[in-house]
Amino acid sequence: MQSTLEDILDQLESGVRHSVVAAGRTDAGVHAAAQVAHFDSVGPIPSHRWPAALNGRLPQTIRVRAAAEVSSTWHACYNAQYRRYRYTIYNAQTANLFLAHWSWHRYKKRLDEHLMAAALADIVGEHDFSAFQKAGSHRAHSRTTVQDVSLVRQGDLLVVEIQASGFLYGMVRLLMGQIVAVGEGSLSLDNFISRWRRRARHEVREAAPPKGLCLLRVGYPTVIFPPGLWYDSQPRFLLDSHDKAI
């Protein structure tokens, strides 16, 4: 996304090389419903016209929902107070092609959402989460604060949301791989707690696939955009009376 936006900005404001700074990085295949980014503009295009100008040139997989002018000291990453991710799991035995691109189909066992919720509750607070950090991170340390977690099951769908002041490289996918192992019974709750508190990265092997993960929102001290454009913009899947996803 970053390089695509920068190329188009260079076209719209010729003679200037633009640098787009996002609120957070996402792995290939991870979705973003409300990514926030900033860039410096030197041309005459007013802020409210930037979405139309960019969307007319962007591929259909990227859409700019809104734009606003901010101060020169405002930073999309450093000014953020939190990021919130949503992970969707489809727990039916039979695959659903309409959900395949947006969820992790985990079908061998019925997941125990109560054990999974207990595992998630244990990570709330400021901790060293190096057990859930992929190699290649440039962070100076592995501490961050998990502010809120939730898990909701509706029939065959499980929706997990995790909010933190920041996330380590690969943190959510590695964490979700462990949470699902707890739900399936292949990893006990006690072993999960011991593993991450001991920072035993070598014991954390399976990462959840990227397609079930979505950057849901990024929060700032001052609201920049109307809530309808950013607060909960990933559509939720629904279930019919037979508890099948539609």
The full DSSP string for 153-215 is: EETTEEEEEEEES---TTHHHHHHHHHHHHHHTSS-HHHHHHHHHTT-GGG--PPPPGGGEEE
Q: Which residues pair with 151 in a beta bridge?
A: 160
Catalytic residue (one of 7, 27, 40, 156): 27
In the residue annotation, 27 being an active-site residue is answered as yes
Region class of 226: left (phi > 0), else alpha (psi between -120 and 50), else beta = beta
Strands 37-38 and 31-32: unpaired
- Strands of 42-174 (E only): list them: 82-90, 104-105, 125-128, 143-154, 157-164
Nearest to 28 by CA among 237, 170, 176, 233: 170
Report how far residue 201's alpha carbon sits from residue 207's, in angstroms, rounded to the nearest whole number. Answer: 12
Q: Which residues are catalytic?
A: 27
